[in-house]
Structure 1
Amino acid sequence: MTQSEKTIPVIIIGGGQAGLSLSWYLCREQVGHVVFEARTACHSWDDERWDNFCLVTPNWQCALPGHPYAGTDPHGFMVKDEIIAYVKGFTDSFTPPLREHTRVTSVTRHEGGGYRVVAGGEAWHARHVVIASGAYHDAVIPGYAGAIDSSIMQVHSQAYRSAAQLPEGAVLVVGSGQSGAQIVEDLHLEGRKVHLCVGSAPRVSRFYRGRDVVDWLADMKFYDLTVDDHPLRDGARDKTNHYVTGRHGGHDLDLRLFAKQGVGLHGTLRTIRDEVALFQPDLKDNLDDADRTNADIKASIDAYIAREGISAPVEAPYVPVWEPDGENAPLDLKAAGITSIVWCIGFRPDYRWIDVPVFNGANKPVWNRGVTGQAGFYFLGLPWLHTWGSGRFSGISRDAAWLAGQITGKDIPVA
């Protein structure tokens, strides 16, 4: 250890809900630690969500440690400002040793054991380091986007705010996961002509047989299913989230209904060349597969209702309201009046600043419930770190309590 290094037992990198949840437990256990946050604690909710963003899971699933949802609408869906207030309320509920606007630029193994962390230009030494910076670092935009005429505005979903942000004219949305499907609805409700490139994302109904589907799945213990017990095992981490919305009290996002109302649906985008979009011939398959996933979820709920002898209203099977005509014609962007593109094709993690051997050949971190093969080095807040809720408000407290137990050697109950 050099004379200028500062020493502390635990360093948490990332001051979002994951890092702060672990901080909450470490504060309660009186474990010395510091939380480094490159921006602010609420920045991802404030700076990287559109104006009409809302939760897609009901408010009752918001369960940060010692700070459960306490509002009057547990089965509603908090909008952006309410989410920010919820996270800020959690941060204000204790005194985390949080250092905002302090970016970590390197993490290496320390010659004296533990790890050396450079943050805000200062060097620190810690026996335990927790990476809680999430997995959504670099916005994905394809290389050919740079060749598209500059008269067509391009934004990533991370930077999309509202229809008013975009120039007048039609919009091409690329990607039909949660963000893409919700942004299509946002634009459609504003009266914009929208074209959507439909990928392989599955869908789920908001309500079924008298209840929110999330309520049924919670009763069925789906959210307690660990990644080790999931049929896909580690593959669950790579699956796209089901599209649905909590907007206006919650409802299905049916892309077929959008098409019936005038939204142009196309297959997976192959490329854009000379301002002409070319698509895969998979639109029908993608729509059918999404509906099939939804039907499978409903069937599992039906089986649970029957097995438990629950009285619940019966619903007729879903009947598609629109079918593609089988054509896969290219789309001339300018002829279609398209003046902007919203890229909704995800993110890549950026761990280049971590020089610790915890990654596989695909440069993905390897862990078991957040614990890596390097003593004292952990990850927290990633999708399916342990369960479905690991990257969400619903399950982060359980993961944080468990990692706090690994750090302290104690059995720490979930708050």
Structure 2
Amino acid sequence: MMNEKIDTLVIGAGQAGIAMSEHLSSYNIPHIVLERDRIAEKWRTGRWDSLVANGPAWHDRFPGLEFNDVPQDSFVKKESVADYFVEYAKKYNAPIREGVKVIKVERNTSTSGFIIETSSGVIEAKRVVSATGAFQTPIIPAIAPKDKNLHQIHSADYKNPKQLPDGAVLVVGAGSSGVQIADELMNSGKKVFLSTGPHDRPPRSYRDRDFCWWLGVLGKWNMAAMEPGTEHVTIAVSGAKGGKTIDFRELANEGMTLVGRTKSFNNGKITFENDLLQNLKNGDDNYLSLLDEADTYITDNHLDLPEEPNARNVFPDAECIKNPIQEIDLVQENITSIIWATGFSSDYSWLKINAVDENDRPLHHRGVTPEAGFYFLGLPWLSRRGSSFIWGVWHDAKYLADQIEIQRQYMNYHHSSE
């Protein structure tokens, strides 16, 4: 049986793969997109039930299609985001094959390009784009206690409060996922402890403009790399409840118990780093610095945007902030569940080529790897800060399609004998 042959193979039919297909089609580059599940499956089943997009509908979309029947300043439900990508794929006739898993990618030693082993057969491709994204393997740290009496799950497996047993909950990680889950659990009536590490917390909106707008006009979406020392700083932002600025002091005043980074578990007790106050201060500084930059921008550009002095109001410190907790007894506090909102790692064990380093981290510059013809798409900071957002991945895909077309033109060159 002959292997199927194609110019370009795209792996993954989430937002990255669909964007890639659109731009390849614009160059009339023959390609197929393989998806092991359904289109945009992570949006449907890979997150909690109440998740909405973190950016407003006018911003978190591709240029070629708006969200239907929703206010453009609203935050779209996850199922509607998935439906949007299905509709977008149809709009551009994306050649997507669902239910096909890629098992291995290796160099074609008999000619140029790659051999791709899949669950439905072998494909030969001159070029391959990995659009599998960054949220692949949930990370639960090695410090997690081996306690069968504790219900422990990763945030990727959390759906709603009803799946947890009675009792209090420790949520480890205060990025967007952790803080939204912690807030939902508290509102359901559970006692919640939130382990809070280094974070940025931009205003959801300020002076009648969403923070996505502010990051745009201030040029922050186009930052090419993280500032030194911020590699482990998460961002706490949410579109839940119609969009509201995350304020950890406010959450503490509402009854959530804030603690520092989780340090260890020993003999039924949890210890925490003595860093809560510093983490909160750094988050506040980040928040206030954006307000300052926004005010300056408004003045410099003579914009008529309403004043918002209340944005600088500070909630009083709750007891857990005045006297940070260093240790908790699980039994005494009746903590029966731990949710690890501690991020993801990548799994590129299926790649048998020179595209990742010894720690399984992608080797690339703006998605172009040292392995000629192989590309990454959909990774955070692929080319800039906005790369992992819906609109950002669309622009990264355009760049990669440009590079692929350039290489095709080189390969089509024929020396003139004249």
TM-score (norm 1): 0.91
Q: AA paired with 1:179? A: S
* 1:338 maps onto 2:331 in alignment: no
Cα deviation digits, residues 252-308 of structure 1 (max 9, x gap): 111111111211111100122232111101111111111111111111112211211
Give me the whole-angstrom Cα distance separating, in 2, the residues matched to 1:222 and 1:108: 38
Tell me the CA shift for residue 181 of structure 1. Answer: 0.5
Q: 1:121 to 1:240 in 2, by over 3 A?
A: farther
Residue number in structure 2 paired with 1:134: 133
SS of the residue 1:8 aligns to: strand
* 1:321 maps onto 2:316 in alignment: yes
Match of 1:185 among 172, 183, 187: 183
Residue number in structure 2 paired with 1:153: 151
Instruction: Kindly report which structure 2 residues correspond to 1:236-251, keeping only aligned pairs within 5 A, or say none.
Output: 238=231, 240-251=233-244
SS of the residue 1:171 aligns to: strand
Does 359-368 or 118-127 show the bigger shift? 359-368
SS of the residue 1:116 aligns to: strand
| Contact 1:5–1:124 (CA under 8 A) maintained in structure 2 | yes
Give me the whole-angstrom Cα distance separating, in 2, the residues matched to 1:279 and 1:43: 36
Q: AA paired with 1:366? A: L
Q: AA paired with 2:62? A: L
Cα deviation digits, residues 76-116 of structure 1 (max 9, x gap): 11112222222222123232221212111111111112111
* 1:8 maps onto 2:6 in alignment: yes
The CA RMSD measured in Å over matched residues stands at 2.1
Give me the whole-angstrom Cα distance separating, in 2, the residues matched to 1:108 and 1:90: 31
Give me the whole-angstrom Cα distance separating, in 1, the residues matched to 2:331 and 2:31: 55
Residue number in structure 2 paired with 1:25: 23
Instruction: Kindly report which structure 2 residues correspond to 1:10-409, keeping only aligned pairs within 5 A, or say none.
Output: 10-64=8-62, 66-111=64-109, 112-120=111-119, 122-145=121-144, 147-148=146-147, 150-223=148-221, 225-227=222-224, 230=225, 232=227, 238=231, 240-316=233-309, 317-322=312-317, 324-409=321-406
| Contact 1:278–1:331 (CA under 8 A) maintained in structure 2 | yes
SS of the residue 1:217 aligns to: helix
Cα deviation digits, residues 303-356 of structure 1 (max 9, x gap): 211211223333333424215123433111121111111110000011111111
Give me the whole-angstrom Cα distance separating, in 2, the residues matched to 1:51 and 1:321: 32
Cα deviation digits, residues 24-81 of structure 1 (max 9, x gap): 2223433211111121112101111111111111111133252233444111111122
| Contact 1:176–1:201 (CA under 8 A) maintained in structure 2 | yes
Give me the whole-angstrom Cα distance separating, in 1, the residues matched to 2:112 and 2:244: 53
Does 396-405 or 169-178 show the bigger shift? 396-405
Give me the whole-angstrom Cα distance separating, in 1, the residues matched to 2:39 and 2:232: 27
| Contact 1:115–1:126 (CA under 8 A) maintained in structure 2 | yes
| Contact 2:8–2:127 (CA under 8 A) maintained in structure 1 | yes
| Contact 2:46–2:156 (CA under 8 A) maintained in structure 1 | yes
| Contact 2:347–2:360 (CA under 8 A) maintained in structure 1 | no
Give me the whole-angstrom Cα distance separating, in 2, the residues matched to 1:63 and 1:392: 9
Q: Could you list the runs of 5+ residues in structure 2 that have no partner in the other structure?
A: 409-418
SS of the residue 2:235 aligns to: coil
| Contact 2:63–2:391 (CA under 8 A) maintained in structure 1 | no
| Contact 1:280–1:328 (CA under 8 A) maintained in structure 2 | no
Tell me how many residue pairs correspond in the alignment.
Answer: 403
Give me the whole-angstrom Cα distance separating, in 2, the residues matched to 1:209 and 1:65: 26
Q: 1:4 to 1:65 in 2, by over 3 A?
A: farther
Tell me the CA shift for residue 217 of structure 1. Answer: 2.4
| Contact 1:11–1:129 (CA under 8 A) maintained in structure 2 | yes
Q: Could you list the runs of 5+ residues in structure 1 that have no partner in the other structure?
A: none
Give me the whole-angstrom Cα distance separating, in 2, the residues matched to 1:375 and 1:65: 30
| Contact 2:39–2:82 (CA under 8 A) maintained in structure 1 | no
Runs of 4 or more above 4 Å deviation: none
Tell me the CA shift for residue 174 of structure 1. Answer: 0.6
TM-score (norm 2): 0.91
